[in-house]
Structure 1
Amino acid sequence: MVSLLDQRAIVTAGASGIGRVVARTLHSAGAKVAVCDISEAALQSFGEENPDITAYQCDVRDAAAVTAVSEEMISLLNGVDILVNNAGIAGPTKNVEDITPAQWDETVVVNLNAQFYFCRTVIPHLKRQKSGSIINLSSAAGRLGFPNRTPYAAAKWGVIGFTQSLAMELGEFNIRVNSVLPGSVSGDRMNRVIAERAKLLGISEEAAWADELKNISMHKMIDPQEIADLIAFVCSSSGRSVSGQSLGICGNTEVIR
């Protein structure tokens, strides 16, 4: 167990999936946490189960909405020490020539631009106190090619460049910036991705799952709790000199097909 006592954390897309587990883990470690999410149903469920964590609705595609919600969360928390940029979507599973500009733009906006929107609001607060930790969610697709998922891969590679540049820019203010690169994570989104891949390739979902796991050295899926535990560690005093890193948690994904 790590301690995040007296830390104040914002988790984007924090009402479901990986974000939900991250928010609960940070809170369990002692942090005061606020989350935002686009889904009203997820927010309601999250609020009922986690009454000590305040949740806000926000469409991360809207820069003005992100600024407003970020400032509201920071006011509620009486400051901010940790930002977890978790919001993301899978995007289309198609050959590149079949992807529409709208599908490309949405995938990049949610997976990359939204991280910029949150950072530009939160960073001035971190600079004033000369401390903080930013975690940007990338993916194993942020270091490997990903055929038929080009907008997703392009955005996740962009997250790496954004992270490493921010780490250089903010280091003198004692602000640490790191990327976390999950592999194949158990959950609804991965189930949908596998179903779309099976459809595209004309194979069964069972065959698509087998193909997914054979390219992972440890031949296993990642549990969201593993990702949350890594984030809590990096944001704690135990990770006080970890910055500018791309931290893979993927069972060593060798290739993505």
Structure 2
Amino acid sequence: MLVTAGAAGIGRAIANAFVEDGAKVHVCDINEAALAECRGTLKVTTSRIDVSQENEVKTLVAEAEAALDGLDVLINNAGIAGPTGAVDEIATEDWRQTLNINLNGQFYCAHYAVPLLRQAGEAAIVNLSSAAGRFGYAFRSPYSASKWAIIGLTQSLAKELGPSGIRVNAILPGIVEGPRMAGVIRARAQQMGISYEAMEAQYLERISLRHMVTPDDIASTALFLCSKAGWNISGQSLSVCGNVESL
């Protein structure tokens, strides 16, 4: 299986879960130091690539095929938080970068991986969307737009690839513990003119369970979707979020 942005955060948790389950795993990331650490602690092969660059994704899939002797699972995890700001304040370059990484990267990976997945006979794609893929998200419009688009991509590919035995689903994480979410909260707090702690409390109040989810929560769901237990699940958007009520 191939997991993008798999050297840290959610991707690393997913890679770890699949390795522990006995899978052969190939990981890509843009951070060479994180990849080196990943190779040192997990039994994985790696590629340093940027998923927003089509030519690099083509190379990635070829390297994954060689390392794994085929491909039966693609986890489209790579993504960025994007800018925080009003629509008239966000730089157009930041908009393009967010869409290029979050959406175009998933398309490129599917484009080059699907021929190998068809050869596998029974295969799965899991696309990482977000709770922001089911709610509008003020001041985070590039991120939310990209995550809504991933839902459409997922449902379209599920219909298209189902006859080939390829299941396609999306996971919608909520507020995930880690440095990226901390950065989002910090930026929003500065914009609102309140403390980090007050902003974090506002986020938690929008979650029914009143706590963040962990990367391991997401990894467990990905493993389930790609297992025999998930044999008849396709075209679905599964929220792993503690029931985020609004954003």
Q: TM-score, normalised by structure 1?
A: 0.95
| Structure 2 residue 207 is the aligned partner of structure 1 residue 220 | no
Structure 1 unmatched ranges of 5 or more: 1-8
Quote the residue 2:116 is aligned against.
Answer: 125
Shift of 1:69: 1.2
Q: TM-score, normalised by structure 2?
A: 0.99
Shift of 1:130: 2.6
Shift of 1:46: 1.3
Quote the residue 2:87 is aligned against.
Answer: 96
Q: Distance in 1 between matches of 2:88 and 2:33?
A: 35
Runs of 4+ in 1 over 4 A off after TM superposition: none
Shift of 1:151: 0.3
Quote the residue 2:139 is aligned against.
Answer: 148
| Structure 2 residue 46 is the aligned partner of structure 1 residue 19 | no
What does the per-residue CA deviation read over 1:115-137, in whole Å, with 9 as the maximum and x for residues that have no partner? 00000111011123332100000
Quote the residue 2:58 is aligned against.
Answer: 67
| Structure 2 residue 201 is the aligned partner of structure 1 residue 210 | yes
Shift of 1:235: 0.3
Quote the residue 1:183 is aligned against.
Answer: 174
Name the aligned partner's letter for residue 64 of structure 2.
Answer: M
The answer (yes or no) to whether the contact 2:30–2:48 under 8 Å persists in 1 is yes
Quote the residue 1:37 is aligned against.
Answer: 29
Aligned residues: 247
The answer (yes or no) to whether the contact 2:81–2:180 under 8 Å persists in 1 is yes
RMSD: 0.7
The answer (yes or no) to whether the contact 2:70–2:120 under 8 Å persists in 1 is no
Shift of 1:53: 0.5
Name the aligned partner's letter for residue 147 of structure 1.
Answer: A
Q: Distance in 2 between matches of 1:128 and 1:138?
A: 26
Q: Secondary structure at the match of 2:88?
A: helix
Quote the residue 2:47 is aligned against.
Answer: 56
Name the aligned partner's letter for residue 231 of structure 2.
Answer: R
Quote the residue 1:139 is aligned against.
Answer: 130
1:157 to 148, 168, 171: 148
What does the per-residue CA deviation read over 1:114-168, in whole Å, with 9 as the maximum and x for residues that have no partner? 0000001110111233321000000000000100000000000000000000000
Q: Distance in 1 between matches of 2:37 and 2:29?
A: 12
Q: Distance in 1 between matches of 2:215 and 2:17?
A: 11
Shift of 1:100: 1.1
Name the aligned partner's letter for residue 59 of structure 2.
Answer: A
| Structure 2 residue 20 is the aligned partner of structure 1 residue 28 | yes
1:114 to 102, 105, 108: 105
Quote the residue 2:241 is aligned against.
Answer: 250
Q: Distance in 1 between matches of 2:215 and 2:15?
A: 11
Q: Distance in 1 between matches of 2:221 and 2:120?
A: 24
Q: Distance in 2 between matches of 1:231 and 1:26?
A: 9
Name the aligned partner's letter for residue 181 of structure 1.
Answer: L
What does the per-residue CA deviation read over 1:15-72, in whole Å, with 9 as the maximum and x for residues that have no partner? 001000100101101110000000112112212212x211110011110001111111
Quote the residue 2:2 is aligned against.
Answer: 10
The answer (yes or no) to whether the contact 2:47–2:63 under 8 Å persists in 1 is no
Q: Distance in 2 between matches of 1:155 and 1:144?
A: 12
Q: Distance in 2 between matches of 1:30 and 1:48?
A: 17
Name the aligned partner's letter for residue 24 of structure 2.
Answer: K
Quote the residue 1:241 is aligned against.
Answer: 232
Name the aligned partner's letter for residue 19 of structure 2.
Answer: H
Q: Distance in 1 between matches of 2:102 and 2:90?
A: 17
Q: Distance in 2 between matches of 1:187 and 1:166?
A: 30
Shift of 1:185: 0.3
